[in-house]
Structure 1
């Protein structure tokens, strides 16, 4: 069984691909993959650390800055930042030894 295309998050139906596009645009050139669910948490974004994005707060701020350009997306609920991407970014188990995790919200 594959990941769902749409999930219910914050009382809204959310297209995971829209959230993926938002995160990719926000954190480029980082490698990023948004999972519909990881460990019971909805909308978890895994991404590689870059010079400008090393914390969940920085990742969330960048997503919020361009959210208006992605009207059908919402921001991830959780950010997992790793030093390196796995060979298959779509495998949540491949993302190892995160340097930071969190909601990015104060």
Structure 2
């Protein structure tokens, strides 16, 4: 079982591990907790050029230990959380799977509405 990510240090450690697995020399430089979504947003930088500005987003680390790339456009965190089924008030993503074969149009419409 994966341990929960409960601190910014653990979020940064998970982000660094993800960056190493991607084969890049970037490293986590800070983490902040999103109160709205309950995830860690982790910034990163190039340690060889600490003052250089990087184009790109951040990493999002969930309490379950998942690490996800996030873009830098406005609303990127909202978009990522919606894609993961983790917006405020949402049921867990695995509960909101698409209706089974043979579902009615009403079932499909209700599912689509729940994903908004």
Scaled by the length of structure 2, the TM-score of the pair is: 0.30
Whose relative contact order is higher, 1 or 2, with alpha carbons under 8 Å and at least 6 apart? Answer: 1
Scaled by the length of structure 1, the TM-score of the pair is: 0.32
